[in-house]
Amino acid sequence: WREPLLAGEYYSSFALTEPDNAGADPTNLTTTAVRDGDEWVLNGHKWFISNAATADFMIVVAVTDPDAERHRRTSQFIIPIDAPGLDVVRDIGSVENPRPRPYTYGSHCEVVLRDVRVDDSALLGNRGDGFLIAQKRLGPGRIHHCMRWIGQASRAFDMMCERATYRYAHGSVLADKQTVRNFIADSAAEIQALRLMTLHAAWRIDEEGTAAARKDIALIKFFGAKILHDVIDRALQVHGSLGYSADLPLESMYRAARAARLYDGPDEVHRDSVARQYLKGYSRPADDRPTEHIPTRRAAAQRRFADLLAEQP
């Protein structure tokens, strides 16, 4: 599969998310792969599988070891798109594309697996490595998205600045209005910050590997999605109803930007991961119990104050 994929002859899709389980927590999956003789039999329901309708194969994450530790329960399988029992049911309408033309590239599909049979050669990596491989794949995938977001935000920024130089209202061009100048300055600062943070995360991946760069990748994932949205939003505002119209690309960029806060894991999960990793570097003083925390400190401060007063002549 790999050589034709790299040569651009094959397209792939990746099926993890399920409609009936929280995709934000991939340890909850219910799609199963059960051993039957020399084969695996897969059953399950997936959705929002990008490009499933036009892919040549699908990488499916399924539970192979339900009793294992929760990060070791799943495995990944490479399944040809025409395998009997694998049905791409529909292209899902979305904010980005409310009425997708059936079976077009770039759509997000609902997929059903009914007794799909594959042999061991379909197993990607080792049995039980499903979560691990997903983490490995999603790290570089996320930074790739951030690079595209920088490009999109820069395009919106250029459009905003250009428009500001010639649109005339209330006695001056928009570029002379303080609010618009703030839009421009804030956007420039944010894009620059995102660019440098993305470069830093990329450097960290190169130098120390994806696992070591986890925090940096999570940071740019939620920060980048917000910058993308905010810059496009400002550019659209500066264009008035022209920005809102489908005559310019801004409205479709704006709709596509909304998805960035969900795919590759919702913002909240990445924020939580960043906070968790930072908090590891801090610990509560051993003698400080939570219930006594504030009163103990207040009492200590009062004692110090009393001592200070006593020392005064």
Ligand X SMILES: Cc1cc2nc3c(=O)[nH]c(=O)nc-3n(C[C@H](O)[C@H](O)[C@H](O)COP(=O)(O)OP(=O)(O)OC[C@H]3O[C@@H](n4cnc5c(N)ncnc54)[C@H](O)[C@@H]3O)c2cc1C
Q: Does 243 bind ligand X (CB under 6 A)?
A: no
CA atoms within 13 A on the CB side of 126: 4
SS3 161: helix
CB of 42 to ligand X, least distance (A): 15
Tokens of 272: 């939580």
Reduced to 3 DSSP states, what percent helix, strand and coil does the chain have, rounded to the nearest 5? 50, 20, 30
Q: Does 269 bind ligand X (CB under 6 A)?
A: yes
Nearest residue to 179 (alpha-carbon basis) of 237, 259, 124: 237
CB of 49 to ligand X, least distance (A): 5
Nearest residue to 115 (alpha-carbon basis) of 217, 3, 172, 33: 33
Answer for the pair 105, 13: CB distance below 8 angstroms, yes or no. no
Q: What x/- string results for residues 3 through 22 when contact with ligand X is judged by CB under 6 A?
A: -----------xxxx----x
C-alpha separations of 303 from 7, 221, 293, 294, 306 in Å: 74, 47, 16, 14, 5
Tokens of 64: 């192979």
Question: Which residues are within 8 A (CB) of 82 and not within 5 positions of it... i.e. 6 or more apart?
Answer: none
Stretch that binds ligand X, among 63-71, 156-164, 259-267, 288-296 (CB under 6 A): 259-267
Q: Does 140 bind ligand X (CB under 6 A)?
A: no
Q: Does 89 bind ligand X (CB under 6 A)?
A: no
Q: Does 262 bind ligand X (CB under 6 A)?
A: yes
Q: Does 108 bind ligand X (CB under 6 A)?
A: yes
Q: Does 210 bind ligand X (CB under 6 A)?
A: no
Is 238 or 260 the residue whose CB approaches ligand X more closely?
260
Q: Does 259 bind ligand X (CB under 6 A)?
A: yes
CB of 84 to ligand X, least distance (A): 22
Q: Does 145 bind ligand X (CB under 6 A)?
A: no
Q: Does 275 bind ligand X (CB under 6 A)?
A: no
Of 29, 49, 225, 253, the one binding ligand X by CB under 6 A = 49
Residue nearest to ligand X (CB): 23
SS3 123: strand
CA dist., res. 62 & res. 128, Å (int): 10
Q: For binding to ligand X (CB under 6 A), which residues are involved?
A: 14-17, 22-24, 48-50, 108, 259, 262-263, 265-266, 268-269, 272
